[in-house]
Amino acid sequence: MEYLVLARKFRPQCFEEVVGQEHVVKTLKNAISQGRVAHAFLFAGPRGIGKTSVARILAKSLNCEKGPTPTPCGECANCKEITDGRSLDVREIDGASNRGIDEIRELRENVKFAPAASKYKVYIIDEVHMLTREAFNALLKTLEEPPAHVIFIFATTESHKVPATIMSRCQCYDFRRISLKEIIANLGKIAAAEGIQISKNALGWIAEAGDGSMRDAQSVFDQVISYAGKEIQDADVEENLGLKDRKYLFALSAAVIKKNAGACLNILEEAYLAGIDLKHFYQRLLKHFRDLLLVKIAGDDSDTFDIASEQIEKLKNQCENITRETLQRYVEILIAEEDALRRSQEARVKLETIVVRMAYLEPIIPLGEIISTIESIEQRIGTDLSGAEGGETEPVPGDRDVRNRQNSVMKKENGIFSTADFNHFTGNSCSESLESISNRLKVFIKKENPLLGAKTDTAEFIGYENGCLTLGFPANSIFYEDIKSKHQKDKLAEIIRKFFQKNVEIKITLVEVEKSNASGNNARGKANTINEVKREAINHPILQKVMDEFSGAEIREIKARNDAD
């Protein structure tokens, strides 16, 4: 007996054996049981998912000697003839090679004659969309009102090419792609029946190669058996299906996620030297990142997608420390560059540039997380501001005078000077206080440069020695490092020169805040707390990323918000 390929040997012979088309099977079985069988059917769907097989089973159900019945016996003469394809009353016509009007005219003449040995004449026309427009028009009248003994079953992979006038005269059934799990289960049954030893991993790879088509998967399985025999190793399947690039996928995606561009290039180099087709590899890489994104979004429900179960856990581990937005951006980059790589004469160079671009892509922070973090910072600033304001108390009588005297008379230790020294330096002959001069200078700086004035508002004039004016910033000042830079320092020196009408060298330093039990110093301590929160805000990574996104942006001022705001 000649060899039958697996797709023919294990073809479904009854409705119960049909895989993945339960919605079609249930409707047809009920129609047969209730005696509501239509005179014309249209089966539409991808290749290799059971359209023609269901058409044959329907023909057997209608013509079985024990029927019509939803469970044909498979033993009677009619069932056997239909199974073997030699029944005179069940004709299978190839629409691609019998597409003209002459063939349809012949069919119209033949339908008038009664069946030879069965109850119904069944015409199965495969790839019916290939018929010409004239052939479809010639079929219309017969299709609408055929003889009672005639059943038409049309099968097509491109239902959109079938005229609406034909579809309106048929009961239309949409066949679905078969899931990965169902194909794996079917291949496992075939392996058991044929005495073949093969791992579930290898069956999964074969099922993936079928791309939702049971017939394609069975044909691939047939090919693998021919290659490896009855005992099939995973390596045999990888070699036969060209899956040796699989190991590079996880390695490359891991390097991209870790932002290791060098490792990405090394992996691509190794794949290239191993003889991998880089254009085909790119398609698999796109699917791999798509699987990562699906697993990241679906989580524990990932098994609902057509992803091999043994791969899901590895995918979950790899995408654990990366955001959904970043993975989505990776997929978008790969999709956007797909056409360019396919047309490129230097697929290797193009793929390298794409992968390096992905590796250097900055992590994308979800908008909700940005808003939440900003709100958290604002809340902390507002809380600290409220505490600072609540901590202030009215000074006791005479306390303000004491503080004024402390500000206007300073010890001459370590270069610190008095109001008289300062007036001598500035050329003032009046007894204007040091605090007053300092305030006027700060107002002048804000007028000349508002941004610089806001940054120096917390500074104090510490001393003047050898033509150098020392400005002291609190230890927790958020603008200390900025003002200390040469550019800002030169700008500040120019403004102070204009104020005093003479050249002045500027020295920027930090000063320790004096600790005191006085209520004023307590308020200053609260303010310093606010400054610390402001420093944290200005150095926060999210704010830095916002600054990076908007070229030329500047931080003019950090304001604390209280509940009244």
495-523 average pLDDT score: 67
Give yes or no for a contact between 111 and 150, defined as CB atoms under 8 angstroms apart.
Answer: yes
Residue tagged 């056409």 (tokens)? 339
Peptide bond into 68 cis (omega under 30): yes
Say how far apart CA 276 and CA 242 lie, in whole Å: 9
For residue 397, pLDDT over 50 is answered with no
Q: Can you read off the two tokens belonging to residue 183?
A: 């194909």
The most confident of the ranges 107-121, 434-448, 530-544 is 107-121
Q: Which pLDDT score, from 0 to 100, does residue 423 have?
A: 52
Question: Residues 206-228: pLDDT tens digits?
Answer: 988 888 899 999 999 999 999 88
In the structure, what pLDDT confidence band is assigned to residue 297 with cuts at 50, 70 and 90?
confident
Mean pLDDT over all residues of the chain?
80
For residue 345, pLDDT over 60 is answered with yes
SS (H, E, C) 387-426: HHHHHCCCCCCCHHHHHHHHHHCCCCHHHECCHHHHHHHH
Question: Residues 90-108: pLDDT tens digits?
Answer: 999 988 888 888 888 888 8
Say how far apart CA 280 and CA 243 lie, in whole Å: 11
Q: Hey, what amino acid is at 542?
A: I
Q: Which pLDDT score, from 0 to 100, does residue 392 have?
A: 47
Backbone angles phi, psi at 384, to 5 degrees: -65, -35
Q: Can you read off the two tokens belonging to residue 39?
A: 């005179």
Q: Which pLDDT score, from 0 to 100, does residue 395 have?
A: 45
Say how far apart CA 149 and CA 175 lie, in whole Å: 26
For residue 394, pLDDT over 60 is answered with no
Say how far apart CA 231 and CA 225 lie, in whole Å: 8
Domain boundaries, the chain: 6-174, 180-241, 246-359, 399-549
For residue 517, pLDDT over 80 is answered with no
Give yes or no for a contact between 19 and 182, defined as CB atoms under 8 angstroms apart.
Answer: yes
For residue 19, pLDDT over 70 is answered with yes
Q: Which pLDDT score, from 0 to 100, does residue 366 have?
A: 62
Q: Hey, what amino acid is at 356?
A: V
Say how far apart CA 6 and CA 215 lie, in whole Å: 9
In the structure, what pLDDT confidence band is assigned to residue 304 with cuts at 50, 70 and 90?
low
Tell me the Ramachandran region of residue 392: left when phi exceeds 0, alpha when psi lies from -120 to 50, beta otherwise. Answer: beta
Q: Which pLDDT score, from 0 to 100, does residue 218 have?
A: 92
Residue 461, helix vs strand vs coil: strand
For residues 34, 35, 38 and 39, what is the CA-based torsion angle, rounded to 10 degrees?
A: 170
447-456 average pLDDT score: 80
Give yes or no for a contact between 374 and 542, defined as CB atoms under 8 angstroms apart.
Answer: yes
In the structure, what pLDDT confidence band is assigned to residue 396 with cuts at 50, 70 and 90?
very low
Identify the CA nearest to 221 among candidates 212, 232, 74: 232
Say how far apart CA 312 and CA 332 lie, in whole Å: 22
pTM above 0.85, yes or no: no
Residue tagged 């469970």 (tokens)? 71
Quickly list DSSP for 104-168: HHHHHHHTTSPPSSSS-EEEEEETGGGS-HHHHHHHHHHHHS--TTEEEEEEES-GGGS-HHHHT
Per-residue CA distances from 56 to 10, 81, 190, 516 (Å): 14, 11, 21, 97
Question: Residues 166-184: pLDDT tens digits?
Answer: 999 999 999 999 988 899 9
Say how far apart CA 101 and CA 167 lie, in whole Å: 19
344-360 average pLDDT score: 91
Selected residue with higher pLDDT from 239 and 308: 239
Q: Can you read off the two tokens belonging to residue 537?
A: 């805000």
Q: Which pLDDT score, from 0 to 100, does residue 22 have?
A: 92
Radius of gyration from C-alpha coordinates of the chain: 41
Q: Which pLDDT score, from 0 to 100, does residue 469 have?
A: 79
Answer whether CATH 3.40.640.10 is correct for domain 6-174.
no
Q: Which pLDDT score, from 0 to 100, does residue 549 have?
A: 60
CATH pick for 246-359 out of 3.40.640.10, 1.20.140.10, 1.20.272.10, 3.40.605.10? 1.20.272.10
Question: What's the DSSP call for residue 231?
Answer: B
Tell me the Ramachandran region of residue 470: left when phi exceeds 0, alpha when psi lies from -120 to 50, beta otherwise. Answer: beta
CATH pick for 180-241 out of 3.40.640.10, 3.30.470.30, 1.10.8.60, 3.40.50.300? 1.10.8.60
Q: Can you read off the two tokens belonging to residue 351?
A: 């793929």
Q: Residue-wise over 528-552: b if at least 16 C-beta within 10 A, else e? A: bbbbbbbbebeeeeebeeeeeeeee
Q: Which pLDDT score, from 0 to 100, does residue 21 have?
A: 92
Instruction: Report the percent of the chain where pLDDT is more than 70.
Output: 75
Which CATH class for the 399-549 domain?
alpha beta
Say how far apart CA 10 and CA 196 lie, in whole Å: 15
Q: Which pLDDT score, from 0 to 100, does residue 453 have?
A: 79
